Chains A and B, each alone.
Chain A
Amino acid sequence: MLLTLSWVIPLAGAILLLLVPNRDGSRDGVIRWLALALSIAAFAVTLVIWARFDSASADFQMVERVPWIPAFGIDYYVGIDGISLLLVVLTGFLTPIALLSSWEGIEKKVKEFSVFILALEAAMLGVFISLDLFLFYVFWDAMLIPMYFLIGIWGYDQRIYAAIKFMLYTMAGSVLMLVAILALAYMHSESAGSYTFDLLKLYALEIPRTTQTWLFLAFTVAFAIKVPLFPFHTWLPDAHVQAPTAGSIILAGVLLKMGTYGLVRFAFPLFPAAAHEFAPWIAGLAVIGIVYGALVAMVQPDMKKLVAYSSVSHLGFVVLGICAMNVQGMQGAVYQMLAHGISTGGLFLLVGMLSDRRHTRLISEFGGLKNSMPRLTAAFLIITLASIGMPALNGFIGEFLTMLGAFLWDPRFVVVAGLGVILSAVYMLWMFQRVYLGPITNDKNARLPDLQPREWASVLPLCALAIAMGVFPSLFLAPMELSVKKVVERVQTGQPARADNAGQRVRTE
């Protein structure tokens, strides 16, 4: 029941909020508090899920299964393992922060804004807990709608362009994945006599090599666009820069993880043979993305764009870790997903605060902010260092493990990826220096208010978690360990050794 509860609470909350009459905006305050309370309730549920999670088991837990479309073997089938567990908690954690971040920034149509955020949370949670491919696809696609509206209505100047680009890019990839999902279900009906979208049953399906290649590519392109992997990343800077702060936090914190999560959960384990074939290529793209993202981030005049490109770079490490297909790499990848969610979510939050105060995000407009707002500066420094991957902060563990994994697999990739680590220190610290250090050059920056209590409430948990994840990594690594091992084992041993011509049967029918 818990898993269902986790996504039904925000969804029911969204519907509830819709019913609050608020034509003239007089109930904005009530709606804000109500939405926050609902998202905290959902977060509480995800914490209970974590508390009840059994780290000693690699299987899916808290499984719920109800027939949905029985004629096609489609079930409402949800469950979590160590990989999805922490992503679920991350989603629950970031949503209240996103709502807090927009307390003052969002002034028009507060009701609709809260409704879309909650609906988005419901869909994101649904993506992480689905064990039925059909259900997964429904959540995956449904999530686009609220995000589209969040960017398109509450975003900045180029918001409409960014919103449509986001929607079409993601959809173009995901519809091909839909065809692949349908093909999987059909292949199961051919071999076992009935349609199914059950992930675990499809894991067991023996898929001929050539078919694997096509299906793997269809899945991987969908996820690569979401990650985004170079060269599918061009929607990301637009979407990030134009989205309101809350949208950016969720986009960077959770949405991008869906792509990497999809690779770990679906693309690699479903098609292990194809995964082995393509892993070097994907890793190559990931490494290019690491360096390219870092180089482009370095020259950005706009802080939000800088952080957006840094995401391209950081997510490259995640993909690299996945492609290594060993325990260290995968574990590092999952850890890096969480760490990136915290640190980049935090960066967008803090940049949003600056932007709310000054209505600009250009680095050149700032300088010497340390003098006017020392507390915000401290918080920014912690998150910046976390993002760079400084030891004792969250980014370090993830990057270290992914690179270790990649080293065991093929050291050449690590050589280039290491360059990205250095570059990330360059662009992040350089930005920090230009914005916060030195004398105040612009009078407008002299009397900016420091962190407000409400802002403390959103910044403090992020900083605390960034430190906690760096100091006590085992707390977060332990639950995922067995699940990751299981996935790695599947990917490593699950190669069906069948001749190519076995694929003919499926294709000619």
Chain B
Amino acid sequence: MPNLQLDAVVPMLCVTLGALAAMGGEALRGKGPRMPVGWFGIIGLAGAAVSAVILWNPTPEAFREDFGVIVADNFGLFVTLVLAVVGILTIMFSSQVIHRDNLPAGEYYALLLFSIVGMMMMATATDLLVIFVALEVLSLAVYVLTGIRRDNLAGTEAAFKYFLLGAISSAFFLYGIAFTYGVTHSTRLSAIAQYLSAQSMSGEPMVLVALGLLLVGFAFKISAVPFHMWTPDAYEGAPAIVTGFMSTGVKAAAFAAFVRVFLSSFEPFRDLSAAGPGWAPVVAVLAAATMILGTVVGVAQGNLKRMLAYSSIAHGGYLMVGLVAANAVGKAAILFYLLAYSVTNLAAFGVIAMLGARDRANDSLRDYAGLWHSSPGLAALMTVCLLSLGGLPPTAGFIGKWYIFQAAVSAGYYWLAIIGVLTSVVSVFFYLRVVVMMYMADRDGAPEPARVSGFGMVALTLSIVVIFYLGILPAPILDFAGKSIATIF
């Protein structure tokens, strides 16, 4: 590959340097005073965000040279930007939690940053093997983060479950890569696409096996039904802020790769009207099942983290609807939805993390009774997040859902749109249960107002501003998302 351009890896490089600095800083500091390790991460992520914006190509007609298997196309850069935002917000929320819960700061931040590197790589990789490596990089870091409270039984159990099922899904994925290579003699996405579209091999069982295995691998990572079993346990056991990070960052990265692989390499197999169903109907059914199961089971949860785990499963379903629609609106909708969902969900987990205490997690629904009276600000922020997750105007979540459903309707998937809107009504029911607790239920005794650090406050305020900005003036970002996918697929 001649004429390698290094600028495609600059965002990742920034984050990697931040991670190394965090690790080195922790190793070299003396005993006693704490190092502000988080700052390294924020600087690195800010660097990644800035370089992503600079690299973003306003005239997508001109093809950008890539670094072999990593490509800095607008799609990848958009996701990189989302991941940088997720990372910065996570670090800001974490700053308070780490000290309170006595987590090892150096390791925590380094792992967080390394996993973000993996995510960014996953979003920009154009080779199945590189995607796999990226998947492993991010997964290993997140497994450890899940169990970072080593003295906590639930956390350890969650990490172990997550690891086992994650390993299985990796195996599926790798198997899928092997089959793909066996048929097409390449792991490069563009080469696979060329090979598949050149030959009429729709009836070829090997391709379908490869496709199926890859689909299962991705479905595990985005916790689509029926491969979602690990999600509630892992989300409930992990520290709240790590859960927030997992449910947004990991999902965004996995989705980026999912979209890239399925809409570029396997695009010829999207809809095989001649020789049986392609992957689009299958994904449509998975999407419907994911939306329905995520919301219906969410209704029955009494633990807020577990409830949000199911809600995040459902949101994965909405994202899949965009993938099924696969028109210009749908692809842009996925990007917009990822941003809207990530900020909202992360902020919700941020509030949960703020309310936690060292000795108890404070995440049962009962713990939120009367929160309005003790911490009116946090209760209001939580309400905004929940309304946004439920898709009520004027919030980011509403615009995101509208965009997804518009895509589905425009692609003729009326039934998916109808399932989508109905499940969002059901989801509003369980989001409202939290609101009911916070505003309308009384608590025995007067709880202390939660203490929120300055950093946490800034992060919460930022999230709320973004949620309302995306909800009220979405045009610039919709435009940005639209341009980000314009010439890629």
Which residues of A are interface residues toward B (Cβ below 8 A)? 67-72, 134, 137-139, 141-142, 144-145, 148-149, 152-153, 159-160, 163-164, 167-168, 171-172, 175-176, 178-179, 182-183, 185-186, 189, 507-509
Contacts and interface: CB of A to CB of B under 8 A. Distances in A.
Interface string B405-423: 1100110101001100110
B392 A185 contact: no
B405 A182 contact: yes
Nearest to A142: B393
13 contacts: A71-B475, A72-B406, A139-B393, A141-B392, A141-B393, A152-B440, A160-B440, A168-B425, A171-B425, A178-B405, A178-B421, A182-B406, A186-B406
B47 interface: no
Contacts of A67: 475
B405 A179 contact: yes
Q: Which 9 A-B pairs have the closest CB atoms?
A: A175-B421, A138-B393, A182-B409, A69-B475, A186-B410, A142-B393, A171-B425, A152-B440, A182-B406
A71 B393 contact: no
A170 B405 CA distance: 19
A10 to B, nearest CB: 15
Contacts of A167: 428, 432
Contacts of A139: 393
Contacts of B405: 178-179, 182
Contacts of B167: none
A176 B421 contact: yes
Nearest to A70: B475
Interface in B10-52: none
Q: Dominant SS at the B interface?
A: helix
B478 A149 contact: no
Nearest to B401: A178
B404 to A, nearest CB: 10
B428 A152 contact: no
A179 B409 contact: yes
B421 A153 contact: no
Given A141-B398, A159-B440, A508 B422 contact: no
Interface residues of B, number: 30
B468 to A, nearest CB: 11
B414 A183 contact: yes
B439 A71 contact: no
A277 B51 CA distance: 60
A144 B405 CA distance: 21
Contacts of A141: 392-393, 398
Given A163-B436, A182-B406, 20 more contacts: A71-B482, A138-B393, A138-B394, A139-B393, A141-B392, A141-B393, A142-B392, A145-B392, A149-B439, A152-B435, A159-B440, A163-B440, A176-B422, A178-B402, A179-B405, A179-B414, A179-B417, A179-B421, A182-B405, A186-B409
Nearest to A108: B373
A189 B410 CA distance: 9
Nearest to A139: B393
Interface in B439-482: 439-440, 474-475, 478-479, 482
B429 interface: yes
B418 A164 contact: no
Contact of B436 (A160, A171, A508): A160
Contacts of B387: 145
Contacts, number: 83
Contacts of B247: none
Nearest to A161: B436
B394 to A, nearest CB: 6
Contacts of A134: 402
Nearest to B332: A71
Nearest to A218: B418
B474 A69 contact: yes
B475 A68 contact: yes
A216 to B, nearest CB: 15
A164 B429 contact: yes
Nearest to A135: B393
Contacts of B440: 152-153, 159-160, 163
Interface string B252-265: 00000000000000
A21 to B, nearest CB: 11
A281 to B, nearest CB: 22
B411 to A, nearest CB: 8
Greatest chain B CB density within 10 A among A163, A176, A178, A183 is at A178
B179 to A, nearest CB: 34
B345 interface: no
Interface in B100-158: none
Contact of A172 (B409, B425, B478, B482): B425
Nearest to B473: A68
A96 B394 CA distance: 25
A152 B414 CA distance: 34
B429 A168 contact: yes
Contact of A152 (B421, B424, B439): B439
A22 to B, nearest CB: 10
Nearest to B475: A69
B326 to A, nearest CB: 14
Contacts of B439: 149, 152-153
A477 B387 CA distance: 41
A67 B478 CA distance: 14
Contacts of A179: 405, 409, 414, 417-418, 421
B377 to A, nearest CB: 11
B367 to A, nearest CB: 18
Contacts of A183: 409, 414
Nearest to B412: A509
B425 A508 contact: no
A63 B429 CA distance: 37
Contact of A164 (B402, B414, B432): B432
Greatest chain A CB density within 10 A among B392, B393, B429 is at B393
Contact of B398 (A138, A153, A168): A138
Nearest to A137: B393
A70 B474 CA distance: 10
A178 to B, nearest CB: 6
Given A152-B436, A159-B440, A182-B406, A142 B394 contact: yes
Contacts of A138: 393-394, 398
Contact of B422 (A69, A164, A172): A172
A71 B478 contact: yes
A139 B436 CA distance: 23
Contacts of B414: 179, 183
A153 B417 CA distance: 33
A137 to B, nearest CB: 8
A354 B417 CA distance: 48
B398 A185 contact: no
A185 B414 CA distance: 14
Contacts of A160: 436, 440
Contacts of A186: 406, 409-410
A87 to B, nearest CB: 21
